[in-house]
Structure 1
Amino acid sequence: MQSVQIFLQSPDLQIPTQTLTLSPIQTPTLHHLKLSLFSQTLPSLFFTLNGKPLLDSTPLLTSRIPPLSTLILRIRTPGGGGDGGATGAESRDCYLNMYAEKKPDKVDPYEQRLSKFLNCSLSNEPLKDPCVVDMLGNVFNKEPLVEALLGKKVPKAFGHIKGLKDMIPVHFTSISGQGLESRAEASGPRFQCPISGLEFNGKSKFLALRSCGHVLSAKALKEVKSSACLVCHVGFKEGDKVVINGNEEEVAALRERMEAEKAKSRVKKAKKAKNEVEEEGVEGVRLSGTKHGIDGKGGENVKGVSIGPAVKKFKAVDVAPAHATKEVYASIFTSSSTKKFKETYSCRSLPLGRN
């Protein structure tokens, strides 16, 4: 069997990210993986993947743990319920989904919104540095999003994200010195607006600035009217504001702006390609055939962009010097003339008057 490569993190044990290359024969299950990391079995330690706990008996060579996955090793916090339902690792979304299945009409909308502000929209893990925001205002942990792009496993809901150019790096301001690396089970809002002090908990509207990445409340930007960021003083335009986790109308407006920017970019790309071809034509180069992207109808296709009819063929008379007779100037570059001349018996190759 081939070896499996995975990533291991443990924020509870303050262990940095490790890259492990494991053999399914030596470490067939997660239980054997713990034995390889520690000298004895520790029942209080368990693994999670995408916010969901995994049993120690889970085999490594399974579809649940694909190669290059990120496993998180956590410490199970003892609870008082004793029913085995809570392990301390489940994200807020897990409880919301469980509650929604039983009582779909009784889910607290504030809890749903709070979960969107505290957790990654893709992995449901608590937000941790580095974070990014897409053009529609969804918040992600950058690492799982990049892994999903590389593995081509981005959900259809986030299909508009094609690469790093569609991500906006953002900077959150923590509350009371709490960093993004704080404990995952910490409850309540952890971030705030650095200007107004409003908590990043879904009750207030927050905006991310594309020019610098700072996250500010809409109230702060409204009260302090400025065309520069209130934190780093980098200038921004109205189109640089991205509403984080906005409502349906705000998301629709962001989507319309995103589509308009993409269309503008395509037009700009086509115009640039057309200008490049025209510059080559002015220099006297006649482009023809499929090698130069010219089709049989006289049109051109440069880098997959149609740019209209072919470039006009170069003619010497078009660049004749001032006060020069065009016919005489053109005769310098031509070997024959279309006019019919009378010929002499001594020289049949030269027209009358030139011998």
Structure 2
Amino acid sequence: MGCDGGTIPKRHELVKGPKKVEKVDKNAELLARWKYCALSQEKLRRPIVACDLGRLYNKDAVIEYLLDKSAERPNSEVVAHIRGIKDVKELNLTDNPAWEGERSTSKGDRYEDLHCAQFICPVVGLEMNGKHKFCFLQTCGCVFSERALREVKTEICHKCGEPFQESDIVVLNGSKEDGQRLQVRMEQKRAKAKSAKKCKNTKAVETASKSADPEEKEGSAKTASSEPGAAGLKGDKDSAPVAESCSSTKCLKPAPAAGNKRSIQSMEDKSEVYKSIFTSHSSAKRTKEQTSNWVTHTPYHF
């Protein structure tokens, strides 16, 4: 049972004190942020992309997330701000010539340098291992250390020569303050793009309406010019028949005058049965009381 003379317990075994706060290993944290994808937690491999908040992802993991957002993923809140593939930028990274890859430590007989990174800054040669602050340009995707951008001030990219502005620089895996600043910048950028798109659509509608107004005026002018000709074709009933408008290839025959019409009831060569077909016959002028209702033959009542 213990405490019977055979064991000597120590104080920490009998008295329970407050639990010590577990400290996060800095090396493990740097490895997780700079060598592993923020979404899939797999090792970073080309092509590597970054979002407006400076987080690193594997491009295939982002594409899988965009194709099926309903799937349950452990780190889906990390990419909640990514709406499409245009919200990420593929990085143009520079390989580290001193990096031998994972095969160098496969036997376990060598010291594994955790701070040796796969990529470096092409200007000052600093390794991208988390100890130094790195940035990328949203215009071209080239990655540099903050020291290179600060010491060699220029308005064109050091690697590809494409021009950029101060607002195009995004810090990779920055601090909490950097993340808040990038969050505000991203929201302002999206609001500005939304308002610009709205103004563009409004201008397009106004241009379409302005271009439609001259066409309506021309159509009304053509209608007004055709009205006098139509009025002249009416004429008097006693006048001679007027020929209809002729096309460039065919002309219609003139319509007969209204006075030449002959009543069918006055035709002597037609029989009385034939005349009763038309509404001008005397049988069609009977009152409602004189006519009988329609009755079906052999009706059935159920």
Normalised to the residue count of structure 2, the TM-score between the two structures is: 0.57
Within the candidate set 123, 138, 141, 2:40 is matched to: 123
Which runs of structure 2 are paired with 1:211-290 in the superposition (5 Å)?
211-284=139-212
| Residue 97 of structure 2 is aligned to residue 176 of structure 1 | yes
Within the candidate set 185, 189, 198, 2:126 is matched to: 198
| Residue 82 of structure 2 is aligned to residue 165 of structure 1 | no
Q: Which one-letter code corresponds to 1:125 in the other structure?
A: E
Paired with 2:67 and 2:20, the residues of 1 have a C-alpha distance of 38
Paired with 1:182 and 1:269, the residues of 2 have a C-alpha distance of 51
* 1:299-335 superposed Cα distances (whole Å, 9 cap, x missing partner): xxxxxxxxxxxxxxx996xx9xxxxxxxxx9x969x9
Q: CA deviation at 1:212?
A: 1.3
2:49/2:88 contact within 8 Å kept? yes
Q: Which one-letter code corresponds to 2:84 in the other structure?
A: G
* 1:51-72 superposed Cα distances (whole Å, 9 cap, x missing partner): xxxxxxxxxxxxxxxxxxxxxx
Query: Unaligned 5+ residue runs, structure 2?
Result: 1-18, 107-111, 228-302
2:94/2:121 contact within 8 Å kept? yes
Q: CA deviation at 1:161?
A: 0.5
SS of 2:212's equivalent in the other structure is coil
Q: Which one-letter code corresponds to 2:86 in the other structure?
A: K
Paired with 2:158 and 2:96, the residues of 1 have a C-alpha distance of 18
Paired with 2:113 and 2:41, the residues of 1 have a C-alpha distance of 15
Q: CA deviation at 1:198?
A: 1.1
Paired with 1:274 and 1:198, the residues of 2 have a C-alpha distance of 49
Which runs of structure 2 are paired with 1:1-16 in the superposition (5 Å)?
none
Higher strand share: 1
Q: CA deviation at 1:257?
A: 0.9
SS of 2:178's equivalent in the other structure is helix
Paired with 2:78 and 2:143, the residues of 1 have a C-alpha distance of 23
What corresponds to 1:142 in structure 2? 59
Percent of aligned positions that are identical: 36
* 1:13-61 superposed Cα distances (whole Å, 9 cap, x missing partner): xxxxxxxxxxxxxxxxxxxxxxxxxxxxxxxxxxxxxxxxxxxxxxxxx
Q: Which runs of 4+ in 1 moved over 6 A?
A: 179-186
Within the candidate set 133, 149, 155, 2:50 is matched to: 133
Q: Which one-letter code corresponds to 1:167 in the other structure?
A: V
Figure out how many residues of one structure are paired with residues of the other and give that number: 198
Q: CA deviation at 1:175?
A: 1.7
What corresponds to 1:44 in structure 2? none
Paired with 1:262 and 1:181, the residues of 2 have a C-alpha distance of 41
Q: Which one-letter code corresponds to 1:120 in the other structure?
A: C
Paired with 2:105 and 2:32, the residues of 1 have a C-alpha distance of 13
1:128/1:181 contact within 8 Å kept? no
2:39/2:78 contact within 8 Å kept? no
Paired with 2:209 and 2:105, the residues of 1 have a C-alpha distance of 62
RMSD: 3.2
SS of 1:283's equivalent in the other structure is helix
SS of 2:62's equivalent in the other structure is helix
Rate the CA distance shift 1:181–1:234 in 2: closer, same or farther, 3 A.
farther
Q: CA deviation at 1:182?
A: 7.3
Which runs of structure 2 are paired with 1:52-91 in the superposition (5 Å)?
none
Rate the CA distance shift 1:284–1:246 in 2: closer, same or farther, 3 A.
same
Query: Unaligned 5+ residue runs, structure 1?
Result: 1-101, 287-313, 320-328, 336-355
Q: CA deviation at 1:107?
A: 1.5
Q: Which one-letter code corresponds to 1:159 in the other structure?
A: A
Paired with 1:282 and 1:184, the residues of 2 have a C-alpha distance of 72
Q: CA deviation at 1:114?
A: 3.4
Paired with 2:138 and 2:66, the residues of 1 have a C-alpha distance of 21
2:38/2:78 contact within 8 Å kept? no
